[in-house]
Protein backbone atom coordinates (compact mmCIF):
# COMPACT_ATOMS: atom_id res chain seq x y z
CA UNK A 1 0.00 0.00 0.00
CA UNK A 2 2.81 2.40 0.94
CA UNK A 3 4.67 1.50 -2.27
CA UNK A 4 1.58 2.27 -4.33
CA UNK A 5 1.23 5.76 -2.73
CA UNK A 6 4.89 6.53 -3.46
CA UNK A 7 4.48 5.50 -7.13
CA UNK A 8 1.31 7.60 -7.49
CA UNK A 9 3.10 10.55 -5.85
CA UNK A 10 6.07 10.26 -8.22
CA UNK A 11 3.77 10.03 -11.26
CA UNK A 12 1.84 13.11 -10.12
CA UNK A 13 5.08 15.02 -9.53
CA UNK A 14 6.51 14.13 -12.97
CA UNK A 15 3.21 15.07 -14.63
CA UNK A 16 3.21 18.40 -12.79
CA UNK A 17 6.80 19.13 -13.87
CA UNK A 18 6.11 18.25 -17.53
CA UNK A 19 2.99 20.44 -17.70
CA UNK A 20 4.88 23.23 -15.92
CA UNK A 21 7.64 23.17 -18.53
CA UNK A 22 5.09 23.21 -21.35
CA UNK A 23 3.27 26.14 -19.73
CA UNK A 24 6.49 28.17 -19.32
CA UNK A 25 7.54 27.59 -22.95
CA UNK A 26 4.09 28.60 -24.14
CA UNK A 27 4.37 31.81 -22.14
CA UNK A 28 7.72 32.70 -23.75
CA UNK A 29 6.19 32.39 -27.21
CA UNK A 30 3.34 34.67 -26.18
CA UNK A 31 5.84 37.31 -25.05
CA UNK A 32 7.71 37.06 -28.35
CA UNK A 33 4.50 37.45 -30.32
CA UNK A 34 3.58 40.44 -28.23
CA UNK A 35 6.97 42.09 -28.93
CA UNK A 36 6.56 41.41 -32.65
CA UNK A 37 3.05 42.86 -32.55
CA UNK A 38 4.37 46.00 -30.83
CA UNK A 39 7.09 46.38 -33.46
CA UNK A 40 4.62 46.08 -36.33
CA UNK A 41 2.20 48.49 -34.62
CA UNK A 42 5.06 50.98 -34.11
CA UNK A 43 5.93 50.87 -37.82
CA UNK A 44 2.27 51.14 -38.84
CA UNK A 45 1.84 54.20 -36.60
CA UNK A 46 4.83 55.84 -38.30
CA UNK A 47 4.04 54.68 -41.85
CA UNK A 48 3.51 58.19 -43.21
CA UNK A 49 6.79 59.49 -41.75
CA UNK A 50 8.73 56.43 -43.00
CA UNK A 51 7.27 56.85 -46.48
CA UNK A 52 8.16 60.53 -46.55
CA UNK A 53 11.77 59.89 -45.44
CA UNK A 54 12.33 56.93 -47.76
CA UNK A 55 10.55 58.04 -50.92
CA UNK A 56 10.74 61.84 -50.97
CA UNK A 57 13.59 63.77 -52.59
CA UNK A 58 13.50 67.59 -52.78
CA UNK A 59 9.85 67.64 -51.75
CA UNK A 60 8.76 65.24 -54.51
CA UNK A 61 7.99 61.54 -54.26
CA UNK A 62 9.98 59.33 -56.64
CA UNK A 63 7.65 56.36 -56.20
CA UNK A 64 3.91 55.67 -56.03
CA UNK A 65 1.66 52.78 -55.01
CA UNK A 66 3.79 52.24 -51.90
CA UNK A 67 2.67 49.16 -49.96
CA UNK A 68 4.36 47.74 -46.87
CA UNK A 69 4.34 43.99 -46.26
CA UNK A 70 3.66 44.01 -42.51
CA UNK A 71 4.15 40.23 -42.28
CA UNK A 72 7.77 40.60 -43.40
CA UNK A 73 8.98 42.71 -40.43
CA UNK A 74 12.20 41.27 -38.98
CA UNK A 75 14.59 42.40 -36.26
CA UNK A 76 18.03 42.48 -37.88
CA UNK A 77 21.36 44.25 -37.75
CA UNK A 78 20.95 47.70 -39.30
CA UNK A 79 23.69 50.30 -39.57
CA UNK A 80 27.43 50.64 -39.85
CA UNK A 81 29.85 47.79 -39.21
CA UNK A 82 31.34 49.26 -36.03
CA UNK A 83 28.04 50.24 -34.41
CA UNK A 84 25.85 47.83 -32.50
CA UNK A 85 22.62 49.06 -34.02
CA UNK A 86 19.73 46.71 -34.44
CA UNK A 87 16.55 47.72 -36.14
CA UNK A 88 13.64 46.53 -38.21
CA UNK A 89 13.60 45.50 -41.85
CA UNK A 90 10.39 45.43 -43.89
CA UNK A 91 9.57 44.54 -47.49
CA UNK A 92 8.15 47.44 -49.51
CA UNK A 93 6.45 47.18 -52.90
CA UNK A 94 6.33 50.36 -54.99
CA UNK A 95 6.23 51.75 -58.52
CA UNK A 96 9.03 54.04 -59.73
CA UNK A 97 7.48 57.19 -61.25
CA UNK A 98 10.08 57.80 -64.01
CA UNK A 99 10.19 54.26 -65.41
CA UNK A 100 6.80 52.95 -64.32
CA UNK A 101 8.45 49.71 -63.17
CA UNK A 102 7.25 47.86 -60.11
CA UNK A 103 9.93 47.12 -57.55
CA UNK A 104 10.34 45.38 -54.19
CA UNK A 105 13.08 46.27 -51.72
CA UNK A 106 13.86 45.85 -48.05
CA UNK A 107 13.58 49.10 -46.09
CA UNK A 108 15.84 49.29 -43.02
CA UNK A 109 14.69 51.28 -40.02
CA UNK A 110 17.10 51.90 -37.14
CA UNK A 111 15.32 51.84 -33.78
CA UNK A 112 15.61 50.41 -30.29
CA UNK A 113 13.57 47.25 -30.87
CA UNK A 114 12.63 47.05 -27.17
CA UNK A 115 11.79 50.69 -26.38
CA UNK A 116 10.41 51.68 -29.81
CA UNK A 117 10.61 55.36 -28.89
CA UNK A 118 12.12 56.78 -32.09
CA UNK A 119 13.30 55.67 -35.51
CA UNK A 120 15.61 56.63 -38.35
CA UNK A 121 15.17 55.45 -41.92
CA UNK A 122 18.52 54.00 -43.02
CA UNK A 123 17.55 53.17 -46.60
CA UNK A 124 17.00 50.25 -48.91
CA UNK A 125 18.90 46.96 -49.04
CA UNK A 126 18.82 45.39 -52.47
pLDDT digits 0-9 by tens, 36-76: 888 889 999 999 999 999 998 878 888 989 999 998 998 88
* Domain segments of the chain as ranges: 34-125
Closest among 68, 75, 78, 70 to 41, alpha carbons compared: 70
Give pTM, 2 decimals: 0.66
Is 90 buried (19+), middle (13-18) or exposed (0-12) by CB count in 10 A? buried
pLDDT higher than threshold 60 for residue 30: no
Amino acid sequence: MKKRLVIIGVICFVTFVVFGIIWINKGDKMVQLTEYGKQVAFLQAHEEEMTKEAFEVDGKFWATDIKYDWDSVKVEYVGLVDSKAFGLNILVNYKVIKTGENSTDILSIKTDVKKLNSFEVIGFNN
